[in-house]
Amino acid sequence: MRDPERSFSVFNPATGQTVAEVPDAGPAEIDRAIAAAHRTFGDWSGTTAYRRAELLRDAYALMMERKEALAKVMTEEQGKPLKAARNEVQYAADFFLWYAEEARRIYGSTIPAPRADQRFIVAHQPVGVVGAITPWNYPSSMITRKVAPALAAGCTVVVKPAEQTPLSAIEIFKILDEVGVPNGVANLITTSDPIPVGEAFTTDPRIQKITFTGSTEVGRVLGAAAGRSLKRVSMELGGHAPFVVFPDADPVHAAKGASLVKFLNTGQACISPNRMYVHRSIVEEFTSVLADRVEKLVAGNGLMEGVSVGPLVDEPSVAKVERQVADAVGKGADLVTGGRRLLEGGLDRGFFFAPTVLAGVGEGMEIYREETFGPVAPIVPFDDEDSVLKAANDTRYGLAAYVYTNDLSTAVRMFEGLRFGIIGINDINPTAAAAPFGGMGDSGLGREGGQEGIAEYLETKLGGFSIR
């Protein structure tokens, strides 16, 4: 029997220090959480959309009130600089507001029927109890992007956040409790062992849907298990984003965009560019501007003023980046800047890698195919549109892609030709609570955010009425 007092430690990846101890749930607690969500589903799904909307709006307001405190908790457990943490808290809260509005717009429809005595009515109803598993890189928004639409739709939820970042999750669930979301409707399980949670979410008959954000490898395992019990599944998985700069684009502007999006969250984002295709005629200028900007980035503890890049999440992440850089350089890439662990000034206590630019990257290198999840910008020169489109699409992933061009026809052709779920055209932040986020291929199934995001939590029901 598991000790109910058992806990695990949460570490600050910038300092290695313990930030907090949190309860370490086992099968008994998982079962209790699912039972609570199952027990409360009837009442919650019967609560008016107006009331659900009100609670979600209140959750938004309380998150805004606590923005600074929530950002600090996030920086401590995850490492991103405070400014980026504030932005994430805002983005996370936006899902509560957006889905508060959407809750009241779960419309049905009527359809003309083939028989004169027949009427068709289509209604949308909540799918039931939802099991959600989230990653550490965006500790708040990956939770609200699931919980807000689920609650808005009338579902009850059980959430398991990543082991590294349970503190932001705990704060969000406190907020849901404080604004009056009824006990048992939104349930949190913090645990150091994800396996029993995955097993329960994919096999327990009380759960109707599993929604997962994380690596493609784990997504595949959970998706296969959920398939056996025919549960509904949403998957937001890994990515390997191309970032294409055409010769008509301003290389300085494009390099600025590249430096901002690549080093966001120290490169630990599923939409982080992993292959920067730059036209050969401007590749030198692009590389030099990017390197200048990258050299000005300041790595350190995200709580300190002036820090622009935080640590990686753990030692294996640093080792992976180091391995990919060594592999690329060994196969002929040019190390323009960075390329090493950062150890000086106390950084050896955390997991720091220097913001890095690699030029002359090519197909045979690991970094060209494998998700890096670290602060490395790999530049690949290209010569023409057809070949760059083909190369950009030559990946098993299909989450985000970026294009810089001032030519409308090129922009339209690339938008239409790229097999990715999110395309930024001269735009490095094509995301918002109101917009559908998600990928093709190995990047996942389904969409989060926008109108599509709530549809993932709704069943469609057809009523055929025969009248006299």
Known catalytic residues are 236, 270
399 counts as binding ligand NAP under rule CB under 6 A: yes
According to CB under 6 A, which one of 10, 53, 70, 237 is a site residue for ligand NAP?
Answer: 237
307/80 Cα distance (integer angstroms): 9
Instruction: Check: CB of residue 324 under 8 Å from CB of residue 376.
Output: yes
Q: Residue 232: helix, strand or coil by DSSP?
A: strand
Residue 155 or 162 having the CB closest to ligand NAP: 162
Q: CB–CB of 67/89 below 8 Å?
A: yes
Q: Site mask, ligand NAP, residues 254-293, x = CB under 6 A? A: ----------------x-----------------------
Shortest reach from residue 429's CB to ligand NAP, in Å: 14
Per rule CB under 6 A, count of chain residues that contact ligand NAP? 29
Q: Report which DSSP code applies to 307.
A: -
Q: Which stretch binds ligand NAP (CB under 6 A): 7-15, 192-200, 242-250, 301-309?
A: 192-200
Q: Which of 100, 143, 218, 423 binds ligand NAP (CB under 6 A)?
A: 218
The answer to whether residue 84 forms part of the interface with ligand NAP (CB under 6 A) is no
> Exposed e or buried b for every residue in 370-387, given b needs 16+ CB within 10 A?
ebbbbbbbbbbbbeebee
Q: Which C-beta is closer to ligand NAP: that of 78 or that of 405?
A: 78
Report the residue number, 44 or 437, with the smaller CB distance to ligand NAP.
Answer: 437
Round the CA-based radius of gyration of the chain to a whole number and report it: 23
Three-class SS of residue 67? helix
Sign for the pseudo-dihedral over CA of 377, 382, 385, 390: negative
| Residue 235 · residue 247 · CB < 8 Å | no
Instruction: Using the Cα atoms of residue 406, residue 409, residue 413 and residue 416 in order, give the sign of their dihedral.
Output: positive
- For residue 191, the minimal CB distance to ligand NAP (Å) is 7
Query: How many CB atoms within 10 Å of residue 88?
Result: 24
Q: Pick the closer one to ligand NAP by CB: 8 or 120.
A: 8
- The CA distance from 444 to 189, in Å, is 24
Q: 44: buried, middle or exposed (CB in 10 Å: 19+, 13-18, 0-12)? A: buried
By the rule CB under 6 A, 236 interacts with ligand NAP: yes
Please report how close the Cβ of residue 197 comes to ligand NAP at its closest, in angstroms.
Answer: 5
Among 31, 54, 163, 250, indicate the residue that binds ligand NAP (CB under 6 A). 163
| CA atoms of 208 and 230, how far apart (whole Å) | 9
Give the footprint of ligand NAP on residues 24-53 (CB under 6 A).
none
Stretch that binds ligand NAP, among 116-124, 173-181, 237-245, 451-459 (CB under 6 A): 237-245
Q: How far is the CB of 84 from ligand NAP (least distance, A)?
A: 14
Q: Does 195 contact ligand NAP by CB under 6 A?
A: yes
Find out whether 240 and 369 touch, Cβ atoms under 8 Å: yes
Residues of 55-65 as b/e, b for ≥16 C-beta within 10 angstroms? Answer: bbbbbbebbee
User: Is 422 among the residues that bind ligand NAP (CB under 6 A)?
Assistant: no
Is residue 192 within 8 Å of residue 165, measured between CB atoms?
no
For ligand NAP, the closer CB: 98 or 136: 136
Which CB, 238 or 381, lies closer to ligand NAP? 238
Among 11, 41, 98, 136, binds ligand NAP (CB under 6 A): 136
Q: Name 404's bridge partners.
A: 245
CB 325 within 8 A of CB 335: yes
Q: Which stretch binds ligand NAP (CB under 6 A): 16-24, 127-135, 334-342, 423-431?
A: 127-135
**Least distance to ligand NAP from the beta carbon of 300, Å?**
23
Contact status: 162 vs ligand NAP (CB under 6 A): yes
3-class SS shares of the chain: helix, strand, coil, % to 5: 45, 20, 35
Residue 95 as a binder of ligand NAP (CB under 6 A): the answer is no
Our finding on whether 335 is near ligand NAP (CB under 6 A) is no
Q: How far apart are CA 212 and CA 210, in angstroms?
A: 6
Among residues 208, 211, 213, 356, which is the contact residue for ligand NAP, using CB under 6 A?
A: 213
Residue 194 found at the interface with ligand NAP (CB under 6 A): yes
How would DSSP label each residue in 176-224?
HHHHTPPTTTEEE---S--HHHHHHHHH-TT--EEEEES-HHHHHHHHH
Q: Does 239 bind ligand NAP (CB under 6 A)?
A: yes
Instruction: Tell me how far, at minimum, the Cβ of 188 lies from ligand NAP, in Å.
Output: 12
- From the CB of 27, what's the least distance to ligand NAP, in Å? 13
When asked if residue 135 is in the footprint of ligand NAP (CB under 6 A), the reply is yes
Write down the least CB distance from residue 202 to ligand NAP, Å: 8
- Site residues, ligand NAP (CB under 6 A): 133-138, 142, 160, 162-163, 194-195, 197-198, 213-215, 218, 221-222, 236-239, 270, 371, 399, 439, 444
